[in-house]
A and B are shown apart, each in its own frame.
Chain A
Amino acid sequence: MKIAYFTERPYRWVNEDVVLKNKAFFAVPNTHFDRKKGSDDYNHYLDEACYAEEQGFDAVCLNEHHGNPFCMGNVLNVEAAILARITKKVKIVLIGNPLPVIKHPLRMAEELAEIDLISRGRLVTGWVRGAGSEQYFNNANPAYNREMFNEAHDFIIQAWTKPGPWRYEGKHFHFRHVNPWALPYQEPHPQMWIPGVLSPETVLWCADHAYPYIGLGTSLGPTCDLWDFYAEQAAQNGYQAGPENFGYLVPTFLADTEEKAQELGRGFVYGGGQNAFSAPQYTLPPGYNSKGAIRNLAKQPGGSWLGINREKMGGGDDGPAKETNFDDVRQKLIKGFEKGQRNLQLLIGTPKSVIPKIKQIMDVIRPGTFTFFAVQGPVSNEDRMRCIQLLGEHVIPEVREYAKKIGLMDPFERKTGSVKLTHGTKRAPVVDREALKHFKFEA
């Protein structure tokens, strides 16, 4: 198993009322950005990555978002390049570069090759479609999002593997001279891991490419369904999926006492948390979702993990929230925080209380990589570092041992797609549904 550390690198200094009034983090005006605090934060988060390496993490992860104090990773390749030089052992895992948003796959191929070379082969490159709000920010046509994603991905692999110079005239990208002089350190190229929130199309695509799929804090039941979906497609493609094909990321905060963990762990719902990442009109821009997904959304009264539902999309009033007293809102957020813990989508506590929960998750979905997502909100540097230390000293050794015991191999220990299935052979399970039965999840 590979154990990874991830932080959104939040900008921690916006007053919560500002976010609540905006009803989301995205589009909070950048007049609230303090340059000195931002500078301190960027440097601190790089220090966290180095500290995570010291504490025994196998990997540090980076993601990218734009125009959003929820995440300051506006150009993750810049941070990855720095980490390539200032860390020594950890994998640098990108979850991921938003290909349709960047719109320059040749430049992407060059940047990532440089990172892999400087790190001497520690890059794991990952791709995302980009959240809805990224499309607006970068003026990337949402209706072509998936097409551009697929084309950019295919192009990058060619750029890394086809001898140059050559010319490319595609549907969305055109390059008259492809001959990158930085090629990745790893041959033929770095591994590719794909994070997601249960999009069936993405999962199918991953299975077709035998790319590990990383569930981002997704509810265990639907995660099992999607892992099975992946495994079925893998079987169609002639291989047995296993732990090496799956990863899981879960928001986690540890402190020395339960009380302190609960108090500071609320940072995960600061400003509304992940569900307030962006307002509905920015979250699912027209054309971004497949027809099938829209059809499902049209029929369902409830919500998805992103908190978007038909009612919210059909709703209006995109203006700021009218309430000036947000205490009721905060009470609802606390309830959500507590429910998230009961549903094992938030792990908050001391190592002693959290380790059994991690093992329960590992039992059910059997991931080959496990990523701890650091707390959001105005939590101090010291408390954040202490969490990393507690993870390193108490959690990682136990998780690693347990993973070995139940056979959770990561994609470096066993290559994805390497366990062949002969035609007609029934595939082995990839999740433990018996273990899932012990949970009662709240909707």
Chain B
Amino acid sequence: MANITEKSEKLGGFELSIVRGGSGKPLLMLHDELGYPGWMGWNEALAGDRQFIIPRQPGFDKSPRIDWIRSYRDLGGYYARVLRELKLDKIDVVAFSAGAFIAAEMAASDPDIFGHMALVGPMGLRPTEGVIADFIAMSMRTHLRATVADPFETPEFLKIYGGEMTPEQFENFEDARAETARIGWEPFMFNPSLPHLLQGVTGIKTLLVWGTKDNFTPRGCVEAYQKAIPSAKLVEIKGAGHRPEIEKPAEFVAALKQFLAS
């Protein structure tokens, strides 16, 4: 089991809690709109030669909200400054859902910021077809259950969410959803100008990962990214929903490892 630590650091002028685990070349992980779920099997599978750097997004859990951040673009700018202060140049990133939105904004603003960029079930662009699920208009339980194709076939999902919700979990989920609403409200979870800005970004190796049963980000989301970044490679994970990393971890890890080594 990798050695996992968490520490709050003053970065970009504000306290930011960062989880670190594994050892080796740094790998930035940007969690989704529900927050960092904990150290999963896929993290462990990569931790042998990658050190995960996982910031808890401002406004989530241990990281205080930063009021001046009012959009995903602002958040991308903040994280870019964090990377500069941590001296993490041309870092590789794996980003999930709304985390992918952040990564895309960062890449659009600075094409040298990432070496490899893996976007999983990515939000951030208006889908070519369909809509990003309005998870704000769902109850928390419906939201959680909708993120995977079959919760009872996803052991790690049951591990995170299977029991009684503790008051802390309830509060953390509400905080996460509140902060996501605050900065992603309209247009909902996409930036209309982002595809235009991404078209200028050609130097970042990009992988798009999408579960074929994803109810949250329809196929139109990855198609939008393919249009904006024609060099992006798409890996579809058959039968997975919005969280292929816990639904089909072996396939996910294989695809990610191959990509990061490329």
Q: Which residues of A are interface residues toward B (Cβ below 8 A)?
A: 136, 139, 141-144, 280-282, 285-287, 289, 291, 294-295, 297-299, 310, 312-318
Contact = CB atoms under 8 A, between A and B. Distances in A.
20 contacts: A136-B137, A141-B182, A141-B185, A141-B186, A143-B182, A281-B142, A282-B137, A285-B136, A285-B137, A286-B136, A286-B177, A286-B180, A294-B170, A294-B174, A295-B171, A298-B167, A310-B170, A314-B141, A315-B141, A316-B138
Contacts of B175: 291, 294
A286 B174 contact: yes
Nearest to A300: B167
A142 B177 CA distance: 11
Nearest to B139: A281
B261 to A, nearest CB: 39
Interface residues of B, number: 24
Interface of B: 136-142, 144-145, 165, 167-168, 170-171, 174-175, 177-182, 185-186
A184 B138 CA distance: 42
A143 B178 contact: yes
Contact of A281 (B137, B165, B182): B137
Contacts of B140: 313-314, 316
A287 B177 contact: yes
Nearest to B164: A314
A141 B179 CA distance: 11
A287 B178 contact: yes
Contacts of B181: 141-143, 285-287
Of all A-B residue pairs in the complex, the 8 with the closest CB atoms, nearest first, are A316-B141, A286-B177, A143-B182, A287-B178, A298-B167, A316-B142, A298-B170, A141-B185
Given A141-B186, A143-B181, A281 B167 contact: no
Given A143-B181, A298-B167, A317 B142 contact: yes
Given A286-B177, A286-B180, A143 B185 contact: yes
A340 B140 CA distance: 30
A121 B167 CA distance: 50
A143 B174 CA distance: 11
Contacts of B178: 142-143, 286-287
A318 B139 contact: yes
Nearest to B134: A136
A218 to B, nearest CB: 24
Contacts of A299: 167
A315 B141 CA distance: 5
Contacts of B171: 294-295, 298
